[in-house]
Amino acid sequence: MSKWSISGGTILTPEKIIKKGVIHISNGKIGKITTNDAASQINIDADKTVIVPGLINSHDHLLGTYYPKVGNGPYLNWLPWDNDLKSSPVYEERQRIENRDLYLLGAYRNLISGVTLISDLIPHFVGEPFYGILPTKAIKRFALAHSVNSFALLWGEGITEEYRKAEKEDIPFVTHIAEGYDEETRQDVRTIEKLGGLGDHSVFVHCLAFSEGDMDLVKKRGASCVWCGNSNMFMYSKTMDARKFIEKDINLCIGTDSPMTGGENLLYEMKYDKVLYERLYREELPDDLIVRMVTINAARAFHQKKTGLIEEGYTADICVCKDRSGEPAHSIVQAGLKDVMLVVIDGNPVYGDSRYKPVFDELGVQYQEIRLQGVDKIVIGDPVGLLRRISRAVGFKKEFPFLPVEFDV
CA 98 to chain centre: 22
Mean pLDDT of 241-259: 98
Mean pLDDT of 121-128: 98
CATH 3.20.20.140 region(s) of the chain?
55-301
pLDDT confidence of 254, banded at 50, 70, 90?
very high
pLDDT confidence of 38, banded at 50, 70, 90?
confident
Q: Is the pLDDT of residue 269 over 90?
A: yes
The correct answer on CATH 3.30.300.210 for the domain covering 55-301 is no
pLDDT of res. 40: 87
pLDDT of res. 2: 75
pLDDT confidence of 1, banded at 50, 70, 90?
low
Three-class secondary structure of residue 20 per DSSP: coil
pLDDT digits (tens, 9 = 90+) for 69-111: 999 999 999 999 999 999 999 999 999 999 999 999 999 999 9
Q: What is the separation, in whole angstroms, between the first and last Cα of the chain? A: 36
115 phi-psi bin (left φ>0, alpha ψ -120 to 50, beta other): beta
Q: Is the pLDDT of residue 141 over 90?
A: yes
Strands in 348-353's sheet, in edge-to-edge order, are 17-18, 10-12, 49-53, 318-322, 340-345, 348-353, 375-379, 368-372
pLDDT digits (tens, 9 = 90+) for 173-207: 999 999 999 999 999 999 999 999 999 999 999 99
CATH 2.30.40.10 region(s) of the chain?
4-53+310-365
pLDDT confidence of 403, banded at 50, 70, 90?
very high
CA distance linking residue 203 with residue 176, whole number of Å = 9
Q: Is the pLDDT of residue 37 over 90?
A: no
Beta strand pairing status for 368-372 and 348-353? unpaired
CATH class of the domain comprising 4-53+310-365: mainly beta
The helix (H) or strand (E) run that includes residue 154 is none
For 5, phi and psi rounded to 5 degrees? -150, 165
> Mean pLDDT over all residues of the chain?
97
264 touches 224 (CB < 8 A)? no
pLDDT digits (tens, 9 = 90+) for 294-329: 999 999 999 999 999 999 999 999 999 999 999 999
Closest listed residue to residue 365, CA positions, set 374, 375, 355, 356: 356
pLDDT of res. 253: 99
* Proportion of the chain above pLDDT 70, given as a percent: 100
pLDDT digits (tens, 9 = 90+) for 335-346: 999 999 999 999
Of 38 and 80, the one with more pLDDT: 80
CB contact set of 227 (below 8 Å; sequence gap of 6+): 207, 239, 240, 242, 245, 252, 253, 254, 255, 273, 293
Where do the DSSP E strands lie in 169-327?
Answer: 173-177, 202-206, 224-227, 251-254, 318-322
Closest listed residue to residue 232, CA positions, set 248, 255, 253: 255
13 touches 318 (CB < 8 A)? no
The helix, strand and coil proportions of the chain, stated in percent and rounded to the nearest 5, come to: 35, 25, 40
Closest listed residue to residue 142, CA positions, set 345, 289, 298, 344: 298
pTM of the model: 0.98
Mean pLDDT of 22-44: 91
